[in-house]
Structure 1
Amino acid sequence: MKTYDDPELQAIAVKLASDDPGIRRVGVLDLVDSGEPEAVELLLLALRDSDTAVRQEAAKVVDEFEAEDMADALIAALGDNDEVVRNAAAHALADLKDPAVAEPLLEALDSSSDGFVVAGILRALKPLRHPGSQRPALKRLGDTDPVVRREAVGVIGWLKQPENLPALVETAQHDEDPEVRRAATGALVYASPQQVGQALIGLLTDDHWQVRCEAANSIGKLDHQAALPALMDATRDELWQVREKAVDALGKLGSAQAIPVLGECSQDAMSNLRKAAIGALGTIGHSDGLPFVQSAMDDPDPDVRKLARWAMSKLDNAA
């Protein structure tokens, strides 16, 4: 066992060398309060401990240490035989958000075929927006693992490169996994309505309701005015969650043409939809919405009544 000049660190090293895994776990927790640069060496040792619980504790506290020192160990921990350790390492990698870890992450990504490891690396690469992650992320859109494809979409979306839009549109429209399609649909918001507007309109009729919700949400963010008729149709979707997102988007588009449809939604049996409709009418701020807002002043749901008072103030100011 290596000896350390710092008495506190030496005491921790003794704990980590104990035959008792419980004592070694305590040693890991003590490392967090040490503050000594050499504590990293001991944490790396704990990440390779023979006891699963010790490795779990080590993986949970890695974000307290310098990212560049920990990246390789965390990447290795992604392949641990214990799921808790793998998950903790994946979350810790994603939380690092340090550009210094990009290169080791890319090297590990290039050499790995394990779906969990690949997904964890992609998740960690996303907030770094490293240009070198574009090519491997595009490649992973064709991976057999939907979790990998979803994380690849996240990387591509955060890079915000126009040349990647065709791949994202293709994924949003045709990936077999609805969660991947949903992620790709949401990632399209960095484009312009001219580039992805028609694709988003088509996604309002996707087979999966979460994709339809995401399409409505993205249309609202992009202020895609040409989607107005499709959004009004979507307010009659079979699921209220989709109807609510369509109503929200109509409010963001701000067109008075949507007021009759929003008025219908303001009288729906679902209170969440009534709230969304009244909020949209207030955002649009057109006097044609006044009768529906006035009616909502007596709504049985206090949240709807509160929104109606807010919407009324918006209509009064617009008058």
Structure 2
Amino acid sequence: MTCRDDDCGCGDDEEFQKHLEEEPDPQLDPAKSPGIGSDIEALEDIEVSREDVTIGEADPAELAAADTEPVADDGTASLLADLGSGDPVDRRRAALALKEETTTDAVVAGLAQAATRDDDADVRQFAVEALTAHGGGASADAGSGAAADADADADERAAAVAVTLLDDDDPWVRAEAVVALDNIDREAHESDIAAALEDDHHAVRRNAAVSLFKLRGEEMEERLLALSRDDSERVREWAAHMLGGVDSADARGRLRDLTDDPATVVRQTAERALEAEPDRFRRQFGALENDARLLPGEDRLNRMPDL
């Protein structure tokens, strides 16, 4: 799942560049945002975007809902029972823990029901993430026979659930649904993912753009140019990042314009993108591959889509 914290584990630009040399695929990079590395000299230089900040209250149990250690030794049957319990925190934890269980009809059915029917948005988001783990990419290692059939069925079930969740009331559930379709088979669901570019929430648009760039590469140029003018600085940031993989005068010109963007994170991302070698960037990003890796961006412990 996804995190609202765009901080990176790398301490400075030199360390970050060293990491890129060791792990060149940005989908495996610990950086949570392509705009990492902004130089902050004073408090007034720090920009806070309200679109990614949620102010509210949460008790310790809710904050620990993504920690599955308390149920690490519980069996599948116990986790499925918790998934239908009255406590939202228990349901969230059970959904995530079921991600690691053996794929069975009961697990797939339980997660599918939670993803589409639970009244807690976090449970729905966690459940579709877990369900995808039992589908997307699993069948490639299943060989043939009953195991392969089970994984193929999980794939179909997960994809159907994800398509349904593209209309969920909660934007973070919709954003996770885009990630699910990307992981399962972005090519087969290209039209569903493309439709998500019109979503009214920045996280959904961003996830859809990243998925489509991995699939289409430079063919995304016109759409990325449009997204570079999005109202959301997060969308502009990622559009600038991906324009680094487009070798054209229009893309380079737009990136130069974005170095004057009002948002620091967009300006810094554009500057980095101008230094990129487009062909190498696309290979590293995954635009020339059809793999099922997680999208670049965040982790499952918080509420932002995995892009």
1:270 aligns with 2:253: no
Decide whether the 8 Å contact of 1:97 with 1:128 is kept in 2. no
Q: In structure 2, what is the Cα distance between the partners aligned to 1:135 and 1:203?
A: 26
Decide whether the 8 Å contact of 2:186 with 2:215 is kept in 1. yes
Q: In structure 2, what is the Cα distance between the partners aligned to 1:225 and 1:102?
A: 44
* 1:194 aligned counterpart, secondary structure: coil
Partner residue, 1:102: 76
* Number of residue-to-residue matches in the alignment: 200
Partner residue, 1:297: none
Q: In structure 2, what is the Cα distance between the partners aligned to 1:194 and 1:121?
A: 31
Partner residue, 2:190: 197
Partner residue, 2:90: 117
For residue 119 of structure 1, report the CA deviation from its aligned partner: 1.9
Q: In structure 2, what is the Cα distance between the partners aligned to 1:97 and 1:143?
A: 20
Residues 128 and 96 (structure 1), Cα distance of their counterparts in 2 relative to 1, 3 Å cut: farther
- TM-score normalized with structure 2 length: 0.55
Residues 284 and 270 (structure 1), Cα distance of their counterparts in 2 relative to 1, 3 Å cut: same
Partner residue, 1:24: none
CA-to-partner distance for each residue in 1:89-131, whole Å, 9 max, x for gaps? x455x13785873343124435x34433222210222244644
1:209 aligns with 2:184: no
Rg larger for: 1
CA-to-partner distance for each residue in 1:187-238, whole Å, 9 max, x for gaps? 2321444222232232222111222222233334445554332222111001
Residues 155 and 283 (structure 1), Cα distance of their counterparts in 2 relative to 1, 3 Å cut: same
* 2:75 aligned counterpart, secondary structure: helix
For residue 168 of structure 1, report the CA deviation from its aligned partner: 0.7
For residue 185 of structure 1, report the CA deviation from its aligned partner: 1.9
For residue 176 of structure 1, report the CA deviation from its aligned partner: 0.8
For residue 265 of structure 1, report the CA deviation from its aligned partner: 1.4
* 2:199 aligned counterpart, secondary structure: coil
- TM-score normalized with structure 1 length: 0.53
CA-to-partner distance for each residue in 1:18-55, whole Å, 9 max, x for gaps? xxxxxxxxxxxxxxxxxxxxxxxxxxxxxxxxxxxxxx
In the alignment, residue 256 of structure 2 is paired with which amino acid?
A: G
In the alignment, residue 96 of structure 2 is paired with which amino acid?
A: R
1:158 aligns with 2:151: no
Decide whether the 8 Å contact of 2:213 with 2:220 is kept in 1. no
Q: In structure 1, what is the Cα distance between the partners aligned to 2:61 and 2:184?
A: 38
Decide whether the 8 Å contact of 1:197 with 1:227 is kept in 2. no
Q: In structure 2, what is the Cα distance between the partners aligned to 1:189 and 1:273?
A: 25
Q: In structure 1, what is the Cα distance between the partners aligned to 2:63 and 2:175?
A: 23
- Structure 1 segments unaligned to the other structure (5+ residues): 1-82, 287-319
The match for 1:134 among 65, 88, 108 is 108
Q: In structure 1, what is the Cα distance between the partners aligned to 2:126 and 2:209?
A: 22
CA-to-partner distance for each residue in 1:169-191, whole Å, 9 max, x for gaps? 2312x111112112222223214
Residues 97 and 145 (structure 1), Cα distance of their counterparts in 2 relative to 1, 3 Å cut: closer
Residues 272 and 84 (structure 1), Cα distance of their counterparts in 2 relative to 1, 3 Å cut: closer
The match for 2:272 among 273, 279, 288 is 279
Q: In structure 2, what is the Cα distance between the partners aligned to 1:136 and 1:123?
A: 12
The match for 1:145 among 120, 131, 150 is 120
- Structure 2 segments unaligned to the other structure (5+ residues): 1-58, 137-153, 280-307
